[in-house]
Amino acid sequence: MQFNRGTSAMQHYVATRPMFIDVEIMNTDIQVVLGDDGPQADSSSIAEGLSILYKEIADTVRKEATTIMAVFPSPNEVMSILVQRVLEQRVTAILDKLLIRPSLASLPPVEEGGLLHYLRVLSVAYDKTEELAKELQSIGCGDLDIEGLTESIYVSHKDEYTEFEHASLRQLYQSKMAELRAEAKQQSESTGSIGRAKGASLNTSPQQLISVTVVTEFVRWNEEAISRCTLLFSQPTTVAANVRSIFACLLDQVSQYLTVGLDGARESLNE
């Protein structure tokens, strides 16, 4: 009765594990994931860092499981408390520093990765956390709903995912169009003296040629977005709705690009 049927001892044992109270461990966690680059670390480096860290967490839980099996009469209950604490405290602390949601009102510049950086980090973090959850389940977590708990960690990011994906695709498109306009202007200026010698109008605007390469780039952005969507969502109806809306972005981009290109070609015929 004094031990509260062992519940107090279980909770005390889990709460006093070094990984939950050692500040040094917590600081090391984020250093392992982000390295020296901090929040600007690229998604592949972050994926590598999370793999190393999550392996260390799984190894620690495996060692704890050996002790728990030997000491406690109800080891499954203790494992459930331990794994829940690992996900809610240690993993969430890492993800809070990793997944800093940008503002849609003031987008991060494309030169610094833009919205795409956040979406790529979200994707690799979700993928690696799911792998960790499966590993912890194989070690043992009692009757804990580990899938549901993992999903709950990402619920706020997934709720706004589609909005961010659309905004990212728009940002990539606008950046590409600005780049093409700058190239066309530079080309126009370099051939301007020849044009003036032949009596061409000084008001001629630089024309962009339609290129299959550019459209292929739109398709590549779309493919990456759809691969993220199918990773983050498993419900067929949700996946279908999101894929449809992402594909609509591609159609819109191709349509805008071709319209601008054809209008420009028609203007050049008039000139």
> Does residue 85 form part of some domain?
yes
Residues 206, 185 contacting (CB under 8 angstroms): yes
Residues 118, 99 contacting (CB under 8 angstroms): yes
- The predicted structure's pLDDT at residue 85: 92
- The predicted structure's pLDDT at residue 204: 44
Answer yes or no: do 41 and 153 share one domain.
yes
Residues 91, 154 contacting (CB under 8 angstroms): no
Answer yes or no: do 46 and 108 share one domain.
yes
> Does residue 120 form part of some domain?
yes
> Which residue would you say has higher pLDDT here, 271 or 183?
183
Q: Residues 60-77: what's their mean pLDDT? A: 91
Answer yes or no: do 45 and 108 share one domain.
yes
Answer yes or no: do 215 and 140 share one domain.
no
Answer yes or no: do 11 and 110 share one domain.
yes
Answer yes or no: do 14 and 136 share one domain.
yes
Answer yes or no: do 147 and 253 share one domain.
no
Please tell me the least confidently modeled range out of 8-12, 145-149, 186-190. 186-190
Q: What is the DSSP string of 168-219?
A: HHHHHHHHHHHHHHHHHHHHHHHTHHHHHHTT--TTPPP-PPP-HHHHHHHH
- The predicted structure's pLDDT at residue 22: 79
Averaged pLDDT of the chain: 87
32: pLDDT strictly greater than 60: yes
Answer yes or no: do 65 and 138 share one domain.
yes
Q: Crossing angle, helix 161-190 and helix 236-270, to 10 degrees?
A: 20
Answer yes or no: do 218 and 135 share one domain.
no
197: pLDDT strictly greater than 60: no
Residue 193 binned pLDDT confidence (cut-offs 50, 70, 90): low
| 175/85 Cα distance (integer angstroms) | 43
> Does residue 154 form part of some domain?
yes
Residue finishing a domain among 120, 143, 159: 159
Which residue range(s) make up the domain with 145?
Answer: 7-159
Q: What are 233's two structure tokens?
A: 């969502």
Residue finishing a domain among 125, 159, 193: 159
pLDDT digits (tens, 9 = 90+) for 199-249: 544 444 555 678 899 999 999 999 999 999 999 999 999 999 999 999 999
> What does the CA dihedral 125, 221, 166, 265 come to, rounded to 10 degrees?
170
> Does residue 230 form part of some domain?
yes
Please tell me the least confidently modeled range out of 37-46, 189-198, 248-257. 189-198
> Does residue 187 form part of some domain?
no
Answer yes or no: do 71 and 147 share one domain.
yes
Answer yes or no: do 18 and 114 share one domain.
yes
- The predicted structure's pLDDT at residue 173: 95
> Which residue would you say has higher pLDDT here, 172 or 267?
172
- The predicted structure's pLDDT at residue 238: 93
| 13/248 Cα distance (integer angstroms) | 53
Residue finishing a domain among 144, 159, 174: 159
Q: H or E stretch including 10?
A: helix 7-15
From the list 163, 195, 168, the residue with the least C-alpha distance to 110 is: 168
Overall domain count for the chain: 2
- The predicted structure's pLDDT at residue 202: 44
> Does residue 176 form part of some domain?
no
Residue 35 binned pLDDT confidence (cut-offs 50, 70, 90): confident
195: pLDDT strictly greater than 60: no
> Does residue 172 form part of some domain?
no
- The predicted structure's pLDDT at residue 265: 85
Answer yes or no: do 47 and 107 share one domain.
yes
Give the pTM: 0.86
> Does residue 2 form part of some domain?
no
Q: Residues 191-203: what's their mean pLDDT? A: 54
